[in-house]
Structure 1
Amino acid sequence: MRTDDALAAVYQHYLTMEPYSQQDEHTYQLSDKVGSGNIKRVTTYSGIEILFSQVEYHQPFPTYFASETPIVELQFALSGERHVDISGQDYSLSKGQGALIFMQDFEAWFHPPAKELYTSFSLGIPISLFNYAAAQLSTMNSIRFKQVLGDQVFKPIVFQLDSRIQCMINNLIAALNNNDRSCLLMEAAALEILNRFMIQLFDLAPIPAGFSREDIRKLYLAREIMEASMVDPPSLLCLSKQVGLNDFKLKKGFKALFGSTVFEYLRQVRLNHAMKLLLNQGNNVTEAAVTVGYNNISAFSQQFHRKFGVKPSDVKKIY
């Protein structure tokens, strides 16, 4: 069995265990006897498992699951806190935390919270895809699956969610709940999230000449600030003060690291988010433009058409 087929089989088995049952191709319902809510699931062409869980249990309901299949998963805790005992290791994520986890040959007891809404989002990554991405990002063998996991059965790398990732997750959740979803766009977004965290967690960002590792950290912070404040962004001078880099180094380093100027990058973030609003959340052109920070609708439409080759008013007709 191919690794991505094996991964799909693991998820299918887990999602159809008591107290869940499959309602349709993408929905797994929690039994009314146990609680309320469901899990939405889409499997992409490359085998990425995209899942959104929103459930509330009436009483504690621990469940057992075991698998020999190697698994890489990006997990994001959005509300509530679930505790898991994985082969004797206690693991949990609080709201606003995420983790890149590696596991194989494991046994787990899942302890979801009772009488509290538990919401989570996750991306299951085929091992072949993870190793391919690792090879593209670095020549170091140390970030391949076997080398990361070593002789352990479970290894989590925990991080805090930033506003940009939260926005990308929200767009994927909206797509999961939309019957007119574009699985190709969902896969692209999932791959972007994976790429971001592999670079961030394994410290793989290239270092331009004349810059230190600390400078790179500040440049990533600058990017996060611009993404979080796309409606009302700081000036270049204010941004340089916020991150602790002079404006010359900020401009030069940002272009070298991310391939565009600070405000060119901001424009791309705005337009990409506007496209997702038009596709998945039913916003009209004016609503999408204002939401991402445009006051001039004509300028928004021109820039949107220049980037995507389609007028924003025609997005729904084409996609």
Structure 2
Amino acid sequence: MKTITEAEYTEQWEASLHKHYLAYNVDGFDRVGRCQNQYSKDYFWEIQLRPGLMVEFIEDDYHRCLNKENHHDDSMTVLVSKFYLSGVHRVLTPGIKGVKEDYEEKAGYNYLFFLPDIKEIEISPANQRLQFLRIFLELDLFCAFSTDFDILPDELQLLKAGKSAPRFHQAVGKITAKMRDTLREILNCPYHGMMKRMYLESKTLELLVLQLNQWNDDRNSTLTRTLQREDIERLHYAREILSRNLDNPPSLMNLARQVGVNDYKLKMGFRQLFGTTVYGYLQACRMEHAKQLLNERSLSIAGVAHAVGYASQSRFCHAFKRQFGMTPSTYRRV
């Protein structure tokens, strides 16, 4: 079957809109459309939640197979999340490093990908209803949520590099019961106006959290199955090194080299064995040692800060208050 370009499909699709329905700003910030063309009968709902975050729901009834070439330009610095409720897409991406040349996205599964500057052929078979929800998250917004990226899979950690980050397409797993509940809440939002926007943003972020957690859990369970006794001993040794060097801890890479594991196994194994990240453990130890030194009263607050590895007293005070809900001086008085 002939493959049509994105421009050709868009021209056909826009021509069909003259006979059908398109509405902008239905509730102040979304867009709804219905149309019919030679391939399918389409419905879409787009919601711009905030700069850098958009969600859309697609429902297309295909009566004819469509092979369409898509182009993701190099300015596409977005992480894309998809949840398929029905139907199937086949995608051809020949010659793209880090991405299968031929893969499917299908009902009951969810996917996460970063694919700037590529051409792909998307195949939508006939005689099916294709339904999926798709989230677009700008990398700047994704990276703004936290600096604690070492709890994430490597593919997501590398997104800190922006559009130069390696491409990936991840089949995360089956849509869980919690994901289905959240999808249902998004598609049946009971609110309007400002409250609708707030509600949809919270549920969209919740859906992303469930997806990231599923990917993490899958990686962690795989790692647990592959951890040997010597790996566990090395991870305990890494914890001891951190405990003994609170004032001048090794970098993540140096710590991994010292104990004889790679940095991925160190990060994921640490989280699996001890229930926290490498940095989280170091931070907790620093704060507990700081409490001990404050109780002993032999050092000034600046001295305590230096003893637990802080060059800046103000940063130490901020970290202490975030951990314990009070400043070091207040803690010492209490």
Q: Where on the TM-score scale, by shorter chain, does this alignment land: which range?
A: 0.5 to 0.7
* Counterpart in the other structure of 1:127: 139
Which letter maps to 2:23? D
Q: 1:139 to 1:174 in 2, by over 3 A?
A: closer
Match of 1:98 among 103, 107, 110: 110
Counterpart check, 1:145 vs 2:162: no
Q: Does structure 2 conserve the Cα–Cα contact (< 8 Å) formed by 1:48 and 1:124?
A: yes
After the TM superposition, which residues 73-84 of structure 1 pair with which residues of structure 2 at under 5 Å, given as runs?
A: 73-84=80-91
Q: Does structure 1 conserve the Cα–Cα contact (< 8 Å) formed by 2:61 and 2:127?
A: yes
Q: Does structure 1 conserve the Cα–Cα contact (< 8 Å) formed by 2:109 and 2:175?
A: yes
Q: Does structure 2 conserve the Cα–Cα contact (< 8 Å) formed by 1:27 and 1:39?
A: yes
Residue ranges of structure 2 left out of the alignment (5+ in a row): 1-5, 25-30, 96-100, 226-274, 277-334
Give 1:61 shift: 1.7
Give 1:48 shift: 1.4
Counterpart check, 1:33 vs 2:65: no
* Counterpart in the other structure of 2:183: 169
Which letter maps to 1:105? D
| Larger radius of gyration between Structure 1 and Structure 2 | 2
Counterpart check, 1:198 vs 2:212: yes
* Counterpart in the other structure of 2:121: 109
Q: How many angstroms apart in 1 are the aligned matches of 2:10 and 2:34?
A: 11
Q: 1:160 to 1:18 in 2, by over 3 A?
A: farther
* Counterpart in the other structure of 1:247: none
Give 1:42 shift: 0.3
Q: How many angstroms apart in 1 are the aligned matches of 2:129 and 2:12?
A: 16
- Give TM-score scaled by structure 1 length: 0.53
Q: Provide, for residues 283-303 of structure 1, a one-character-per-residue CA deviation record: whole Å limited to 9, x for no partner.
A: xxxxxxxxxxxxxxxxxxxxx
**Matched-pair identity in %:** 15
Q: 1:91 to 1:141 in 2, by over 3 A?
A: closer
* Counterpart in the other structure of 1:20: 13
Match of 2:201 among 187, 193, 200: 187
Match of 1:72 among 73, 79, 83: 79
Q: Does structure 2 conserve the Cα–Cα contact (< 8 Å) formed by 1:85 and 1:110?
A: yes
Q: Does structure 1 conserve the Cα–Cα contact (< 8 Å) formed by 2:158 and 2:165?
A: no
Q: How many angstroms apart in 2 are the aligned matches of 1:163 and 1:203?
A: 16
Q: How many angstroms apart in 2 are the aligned matches of 1:140 and 1:114?
A: 38
Q: How many angstroms apart in 2 are the aligned matches of 1:136 and 1:76?
A: 26
Q: How many angstroms apart in 2 are the aligned matches of 1:159 and 1:148?
A: 25
Give 1:189 shift: 0.9
Give 1:19 shift: 4.3
Residue ranges of structure 1 left out of the alignment (5+ in a row): 1-12, 207-211, 215-255, 258-319
Q: How many angstroms apart in 2 are the aligned matches of 1:166 and 1:141?
A: 23
Give 1:161 shift: 0.7
- Give TM-score scaled by structure 2 length: 0.50
Match of 1:86 among 71, 81, 93: 93
Give 1:136 shift: 4.7
Q: 1:28 to 1:135 in 2, by over 3 A?
A: farther
Aligned residues: 197
Match of 1:54 among 54, 59, 68: 59
* Root-mean-square deviation over aligned CA pairs: 3.6
Give 1:71 shift: 2.5
